[in-house]
């Protein structure tokens, strides 16, 4: 008998969802991630007194610790005070940069002792949506699609210390905590996460249409064109093949969605890119002692996301209607229209006015294309960067930073070159708008 047998029914009666865990990183199958579910019937099977029946339900003989799958809750997991972990300062900086209010005092869980700020702070949320699972280097979110919360009366596999719950202290970033308690919380004791925090922690699931019909991962990949990796796919592969490039949960998710989008757009060689990403992520999971099934469920979820996003054909990506520009696939660029460049006042107005940020993934894709293309196409990408930021896809400041990054990448960086390109592209847009009017 272990922690799961002792406490699972208590948590379940408190409208929380207990799962058996070996140590802290090997949960029972089928209970975590995008495809995971926890039901009263599953909990009953995991608690069966017959070890053979428990095993048939997926609970291994060492799965004695207890974790909570998050449904309409999340835990802000702050790592601090060991190794290079500095989660307290990082979370405070994250809040300050976005003008977020203090987090409400709440129940917290840790196995690191009464004085440690390294703990998980639990809150209720209004809906289960995709969240940014790693807002800071040393801060991670445990939510319905990512991880779970190991809690009392589990025992930490490395230190032998018992996990404990702590009563709320005072609001803050992060909040303080009160006394250790032997009580187990119910879902309703967790405070609601402030709306500002919920908005800041939401993932980039915007710009998706959940009403579209989707196919499974196998069928989606089978629809991609055959052939060797084209220029853009090779460029992306070079990034993710770099030994220094970490490929954890968030990196794999973003890269896999990007790769699947490239396949939908008609780029060749995407299967090779997906194989590379799979090998990198499953290698990370093995090193971290986490189940390989996490990669399968996450890739399936990425396939759904990629089909819910709008795509543009791989060709053309130029802004001249009917022009010959075909991005990194080799065609030549059209010259910029011969119009006066924007002046400093126009640039200041542009930077001050267009500050919305609704589709950050679009900016990342634009930067990838800009770096894959030759340097003489920088002005085309500048036109797109400005147009897309004016349309509200990302802030003007982000577009300018991307343009500077593109100049630096192509070795054409000096004090005036990005600004010159920006003025020419902005002048072309203003002239086109004036002509249309």
Q: Which long-range contacts (CB under 8 A, 24 or more apart) does 394-398 make?
A: 394/356, 394/357, 394/358, 394/359, 394/360, 394/362, 394/363, 395/354, 395/355, 395/356, 395/357, 396/350, 396/351, 396/353, 396/354, 396/355, 397/351, 397/355, 398/357, 398/360, 398/363
Token look-up 């890269």 returns 255
| In 193-269, alpha helices (H) | 195-201, 217-222, 231-241, 249-265
The number of C-alpha atoms within 13 Å of 379 and in the hemisphere containing its C-beta is 20
Handedness of CA 296, 298, 301, 302 (dihedral sign): negative
Q: Is 400 in contact with 423 (CB distance < 8 Å)?
A: no
Alpha-carbon distance of 386 to 198, in angstroms, equals 29
Helices (H) and strands (E) in the chain, counts: 15, 10
DSSP 24: T
Question: In terms of DSSP bridges, do strands 26-27 and 17-22 run parallel, antiparallel, or are they unpaired?
Answer: antiparallel
Q: Give per-residue pLDDT as tens, 14-65.
A: 999 999 999 998 899 889 987 789 999 999 999 999 999 999 999 998 999 9
Handedness of CA 367, 372, 378, 383 (dihedral sign): negative
Residue 429 three-state SS:
helix
pLDDT at 353: 55
Mean pLDDT, residues 126-147: 89
Alpha-carbon distance of 230 to 104, in angstroms, equals 50
Alpha-carbon distance of 382 to 391, in angstroms, equals 14
Q: Is 220 in contact with 299 (CB distance < 8 Å)?
A: no
pTM more than 0.95: no
Alpha-carbon distance of 266 to 414, in angstroms, equals 36
Mean pLDDT, residues 171-187: 96
pLDDT of 232 over the 80 cut: no
Surface-to-core class of residue 164, CB atoms within 10 Å of its CB (0-12 exposed, 13-18 middle, 19+ buried): buried
Alpha-carbon distance of 2 to 61, in angstroms, equals 10
pLDDT at 352: 63
Structure tokens at 33: 């991630």
Residue 16 three-state SS:
coil
Question: In terms of DSSP bridges, do strands 177-181 and 164-168 run parallel, antiparallel, or are they unpaired?
Answer: antiparallel
Alpha-carbon distance of 3 to 432, in angstroms, equals 68
Q: Give per-residue pLDDT as tens, 360-392.
A: 677 778 888 888 888 878 877 888 888 777 766
Q: Torsion over CA of 127, 130, 135 and 141, rounded to 10 degrees?
A: 60
Mean pLDDT, residues 389-404: 77
Mean pLDDT, residues 349-369: 68
Which CA distances in Å does 188 have to 3, 182, 425?
22, 18, 54
* Widest CA span in the chain: 81
Q: Give per-residue pLDDT as tens, 332-341.
A: 444 445 567 7
pLDDT at 415: 52
pLDDT of 125 over the 90 cut: yes
- Look at the chain and count its residues: 437
- Nearest to residue 60, comparing CAs of 51, 50, 73, 72? 51
Mean pLDDT, residues 286-307: 87
Q: Give per-residue pLDDT as tens, 60-98.
A: 989 999 999 999 999 999 999 888 899 999 999 999 988
Domain limits of the chain? 3-201, 217-308, 327-436
More confident residue, 342 or 330: 342
């Amino acid at each position: 008998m272990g922690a799961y047998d002792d406490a699972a029914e208590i948590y379940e009666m408190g409208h929380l969802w207990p799962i058996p865990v070996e140590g802290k990183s090997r949960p029972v199958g089928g209970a975590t991630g995008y495809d995971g579910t926890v039901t009263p019937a599953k909990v009953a099977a995991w608690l069966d007194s017959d070890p053979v029946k428990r095993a048939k339900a997926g609970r291994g003989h060492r799965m004695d610790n207890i974790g909570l799958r998050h449904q309409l809750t999340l835990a802000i997991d702050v790592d601090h005070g060991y190794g290079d972990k500095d989660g307290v300062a990082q979370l405070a900086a994250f809040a300050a940069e976005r003008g977020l209010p203090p987090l409400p005092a709440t129940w917290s869980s840790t196995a690191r002792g009464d004085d440690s700020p390294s703990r998980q702070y639990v809150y209720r949320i209004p809906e289960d949506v995709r969240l940014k699972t790693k807002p800071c280097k040393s801060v991670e979110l445990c939510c319905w699609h990512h991880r779970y919360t190991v809690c009392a009366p589990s025992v930490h596999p490395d230190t032998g210390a018992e996990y404990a719950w702590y009563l709320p202290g005072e609001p803050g970033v992060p909040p303080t905590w009160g006394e250790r308690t032997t009580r187990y919380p119910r879902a309703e004791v967790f405070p609601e996460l402030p709306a500002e925090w919920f908005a800041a922690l939401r993932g980039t699931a915007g710009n998706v249409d959940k009403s579209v019909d989707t196919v499974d991962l196998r069928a989606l990949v089978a629809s991609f064109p055959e052939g060797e990796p084209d220029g853009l796919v090779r460029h992306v592969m070079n990034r993710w093949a770099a030994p220094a490039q970490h490929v954890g949960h968030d990196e794999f998710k973003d890269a896999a969605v990007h790769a699947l989008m490239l396949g939908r757009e008609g780029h060749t060689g995407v299967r090779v890119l997906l194989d590379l990403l799979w090998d990198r992520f499953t290698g990370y999971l093995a090193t971290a002692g986490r189940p390989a099934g996490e990669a399968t469920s996450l890739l399936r979820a990425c396939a759904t996301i990629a089909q819910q996003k709008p795509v543009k054909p791989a060709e053309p990506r130029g802004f001249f209607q009917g022009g010959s520009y075909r991005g990194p696939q080799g065609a030549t660029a059209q010259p910029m229209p011969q119009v006066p460049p924007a002046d400093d006042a126009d640039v200041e107005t542009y930077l001050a006015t267009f500050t919305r940020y609704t589709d950050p993934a679009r900016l990342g894709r634009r930067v990838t294309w800009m770096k894959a293309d030759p340097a003489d196409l920088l002005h085309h990408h500048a036109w797109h960067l400005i147009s897309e930021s004016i349309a509200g896809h990302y802030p003007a400041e982000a577009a300018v930073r991307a343009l500077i990054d593109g100049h630096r990448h192509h070795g054409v960086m000096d004090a005036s070159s990005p600004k010159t390109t920006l003025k020419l592209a902005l002048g072309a847009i203003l002239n086109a708008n004036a002509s249309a009017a």
